[in-house]
Amino acid sequence: MEKILQKKSFPKWVEKLDAYEIYSPVKKDNTWSYEIINTPGDIELDYPNAVQAPKKIINPQREVFLEFGRSDDDTLEVTEVLPEEKSVVIFGVRPCDAKALTLTDLVFSEDIKDNYYGKRRKQTAIIGLACNTPPSPNCFCTSVDGSPHSEDGFDILLTDLGDRYFVKSLTNMGNDLINLGKGLFVAPKANEKKELAKIHADAEKKLKRQVNDVEKIPPKLKEMFESAFWDEESMSCLRCGICTYLCPTCHCFDISDEVTSVAPFKGYRIRTWDNCQFPDFTMHSSGHNPRPDKASRLRQRIMHKYQYFVERYDHYQCTGCGRCISKCPVGIDIIEVLNKVRDYG
């Protein structure tokens, strides 16, 4: 379904979505983050991209799996805690971050299903905003099967046409949301479709960075497991882990028990994001560590995204958002690393 929505009608549409919990990018301390909004006026779609991808809404940084405790007669009680049932809409999602959700879907529902992720994913509509100009100088989505107007992972994709949005619904969930705003949307005219095509084509040309011949990288990596390359590339790494925390496709987590009271005994089993750049991520209780140094951990990050994931799921586990480049405190640049890998040896 394709429609046109005047920007001045946008708040009226959002008002009709009052049954939904609505997230939107919000400006805070000069950066953008996805927050729950209270009034349609809080939605600000003239923005680059949020520091953190909306993965935090689907796969929260901390989430309770179980509650456990002992009753008065000392019986151990364990209760599962499931995500709250509600309908959610996220506005302003960039194509790289929506595509990232389609990649984590592969992991969380390969054959064994993760109900926590699955339930949130199912009850959340993703409304995207095409990138008319690259939100970051380090954007490289077109190198990894993406584009500034990719439709992967969206229920609705909006493209800014100045005073209007070109609205494309891609799912039934998207159609339902548009139907809630009946009367506000009109059919696009032929010149508006042309305008859309031009904006999309221009947007692709505006990307400044790329990884050429990316398809050469997975087989090349396969030969480079033992290479000294990883020592050189990881030399400056501070193992802070910001690259993976901010990555929209990184999904690794820890499960641990949090005891909140000793008497009476009570606590939670929780899932929290974890990070392959941390030394104890893979350390056995014996002290043996299969990835004992920075080199093996950087190698894991690159190989997971550009070899292992490709072998397992036939996609790069990277959508070219550029966050890991922009936020690395020592300037480790995945585009440079990949270009070097391609040309190595």
Partner 1 sequence: MDNENVYLPKLAKIINIKDEVNGARPIKTFRAQLLTETNFSHRCGQCAMVSVFGKGESMFAISSSPLVKDYLQFSIMKMGRVTSSLHSMKEDDIIGIRGPLGNSFPIEDWKGKKLIFIGGGIGLAPIWSVLQFALGQKKDYGDLILIYGARTSKDLVFKEELEELRKEMTVHLSVDVEEEGWKEFVGFVPQNVTDKKPSPKNAIAITCGPPIMIKFVIQALGDLGFKDDQIYTTVENKMKCGIGICGRCNIGMHYVCKDGPVYSWAELKELPQEY
Binding-site ranges for partner 1 (CB under 8 A): 65-66, 68, 76, 78, 80, 82, 107-108, 110-116, 225, 251-257, 259, 265, 267, 269, 271, 274, 276, 281-286, 290-291, 296, 300, 303-304, 307-309, 311-312
- Closer of 169 and 300 to partner 1 (Cβ): 300
CB of 140 to partner 1, least distance (A): 23
CB of 200 to partner 1, least distance (A): 34
- Closer of 7 and 239 to partner 1 (Cβ): 239
The vertex-168 CA angle with 123 and 4, nearest 5°, equals 120
Quickly count helices (H) and strands (E) in the chain: 13, 12
The residue whose two tokens read 């600000």 is 44
CB of 243 to partner 1, least distance (A): 14
CB of 288 to partner 1, least distance (A): 8
CB of 281 to partner 1, least distance (A): 6
211, 217 Cβ separation under 8 angstroms: yes
- Residue 181: C-alpha distances to residues 9, 86, 102 (Å): 9, 20, 27
- Closer of 149 and 291 to partner 1 (Cβ): 291
Q: E strands within the chain?
A: 2-6, 21-28, 31-36, 62-70, 76-80, 88-93, 124-129, 156-160, 164-169, 185-186, 253-261, 266-273
Structure tokens at 174: 């998207």
- Closer of 209 and 251 to partner 1 (Cβ): 251
CB of 158 to partner 1, least distance (A): 32
- Closer of 45 and 66 to partner 1 (Cβ): 66
Dihedral sign computed on CA atoms, order 328, 44, 137, 100: positive
Q: Tell which residue, 294, 283, 315, has the closest CA to residue 229.
A: 294
CB of 265 to partner 1, least distance (A): 7
Please enumerate in sequence order all residues whose Cβ is within 8 A of that of 153, keeping only pairs 6 or more positions apart, or say none: 93, 95, 98, 99, 100, 101, 102, 126, 128
- Closer of 252 and 335 to partner 1 (Cβ): 252
- Closer of 76 and 228 to partner 1 (Cβ): 76
- Residue 81: C-alpha distances to residues 35, 72, 86, 121 (Å): 23, 21, 15, 17
**Could you give the maximum distance between any two Cα atoms of the chain, in Å?**
74
